[in-house]
A and B are shown apart, each in its own frame.
Chain A
Amino acid sequence: NAGVTQTPKFQVLKTGQSMTLQCAQDMNHNSMYWYRQDPGMGLRLIYYSASEGTTDKGEVPNGYNVSRLNKREFSLRLESAAPSQTSVYFCASSDIGFGGGTQYFGPGTRLLVL
């Protein structure tokens, strides 16, 4: 039981490049989330998916798109990376209906945009 997995672990991009961050969970959770964490800012919600087939914007969605591919997988895409998107990205999933307190996080993707 791997929990929440994320790929890649690290990535360096040049401004304007695109990439997709992958996330998968094997806990049969309905809800999945993407956060970014920056020094002094705490965790901020980018997008979330309450259930398979639905996605909604969080606090900081600009510059990102998401796809809930199936119940297990939730990807985050940066179409044209900017230095302001340098951050640590965490994917999470939750078990208690929608947004229950026990969110399980993946190990994170550290992204540097030059």
Chain B
Amino acid sequence: RKEVEQDPGPFNVPEGATVAFNCTYSNSASQSFFWYRQDCRKEPKLLMSVYSSGNEDGRFTAQLNRASQYISLLIRDSKLSDSATYLCVVNKGSGGSNYKLTFGKGTLLTVNP
């Protein structure tokens, strides 16, 4: 199993659609989980952290299932501006001993008018 594996995509959806991205991770000791967004030819930027209890930020909802080692991102009411690549990111360490984030390869989303 790859360290961080995402839906390969690409996803093409109409405006207003709901779209879900899935991600699995292999290291059960992983401590922190995130979704980053990367626009075409731009740098990645943090979209949201993922907490065990699930968390929501406007139209975006992130879920974590530690037992299944599974992370999800749900986007409701898609906008044209949501078109980007979404990166699933995992940090194995809780702070002092592990500095490294592991990035999934990303899933490309295109929202069409």
Q: Which residues of A contact B (CB under 8 A)?
A: 31, 33, 40-45, 48, 50, 56, 58, 90, 94, 96-103, 105-108
Q: Which residues of A contact B87 (CB under 8 A)?
A: 42-43
Per-residue A-contact encoding for B1-24, CB less than 8 Å = 1, 0 else = 000000000000000000000000
State the Cβ distance, B75 to closest chain A Cβ, in Å: 20
Which residues in B have some Cβ–Cβ distance to A below 8 Å?
A: 32-34, 42-46, 49, 87, 89, 91, 93, 95-101, 103-106
Known: A40-B105, A42-B106, A43-B87. A101 touches B32 (CB 8 A): yes
Taking a contact as CB atoms closer than 8 A, the residue among B46, B89, B95, B106 that contacts A97 in the complex is: B95
A43 touches B100 (CB 8 A): no
Instruction: Please measure, in the bound complex, the distance between the C-alpha atom of A97 and the C-alpha atom of B95, giving whole angstroms.
Output: 6
B101 touches A99 (CB 8 A): yes
